[in-house]
Amino acid sequence: MGTDAARALLERATTLNLQTGNLLNWGGLRKKCPATPGEEVSGPRRCSFSTAGRRSGGREALEVVECTVAQAIEKINPEERDELKVSAKLFIIGSNSPSIRDAVDMACSALGVAQLDSVIIAPPPVEDGISLSLEYLQPYWQELENLVQSKKIVAIGTSDLDKVLLEQLYLWAQVKPSSNQVNLASCCVMPPDLTAFAKQFDIQLLTHNDPKELLCEASFQEVLQESIQTTKAHEWTPLWLLRYSVIVKSRGIIKSKGFILQARRNAS
């Protein structure tokens, strides 16, 4: 689909769903394979808008635009499902907890699976001067717990929580966090108190190198503007970004990885 057609669709839509497909297939598409988390996000967004398409709504009332790299879409073979671990990390950017279900449903649909083996949630954004608290995390965690209870997710985890907040969450939660990611860029050694608490309650400590802000509203709007030359890019706000990976259990190698993003237009 050409730029003009994509722009026309987006200017009538209220929601944009973007899927990169398997980034490991991008070599066959003659595109440079992203090296860092930031490149993984910006690269797919730059090339995907050209494949925008309509999912629902009529000529005058378009609601959702689907945007995918069709050649890179790769569903899991049901016969291989038991041999694979499907995990995801969800970055809440500008939304509320109910969007978590949308993200998980879209990931399951994209990969052709009934459930995800694990989902880690990155701390949602808080206003300047306000510290992340249990009270702020609770609605997001409750939505994850609902998805565990409905068997859409097997295990749930957190990211960048210190020992105090992780303990508060663990004691309050019905479904306990199975893991907590630690960014070693800001912490060269695992904090001893966090390590001791995680060991006591069988919480796996993982490391990550994601930037503090993987995707912000301004950068998303900039890429949207550059991609389809729309004057209404400022009306679009990214709600969440989900990164998934499919790992072969017996060999520990990544079979597939990609991103799914949802954005909403706030027309004045």
Q: What is the pLDDT of residues 136-189, one digit of tens each?
A: 999 999 999 999 999 999 999 999 999 999 999 999 999 999 999 998 776 668
CA distance 200 to 9: 53
The predicted structure's pLDDT at residue 30? 44
Q: Which of 266, 178, 263, 248 is nearest to 24 (CA)?
A: 248
Amino acid at 26: W
* 155/204 Cα distance (integer angstroms): 12
The 10s digit of each residue's pLDDT in 192-230 is: 999 999 999 999 999 998 887 888 888 888 888 887 777
pLDDT at 95: 61
> Residue 111 above 50 pLDDT?
yes
Listed range (47-51, 111-115, 139-143) with the worst mean pLDDT: 47-51
Q: Averaged over 220-245, what is the pLDDT? A: 86
What pTM does this model have? 0.86
For the segment 62-74, the average pLDDT, to the nearest whole number, is 79
Asked whether residue 134 carries a pLDDT value surpassing 80, the answer given is: yes
Residue 262 to residues 77, 151, 164, 265: CA-CA distances in angstroms? 26, 23, 32, 10
Sign of CA dihedral 88, 89, 93, 97: positive
Residues comprising the chain, all counted: 268
Q: Is residue 44 pLDDT above 60, yes or no?
A: no
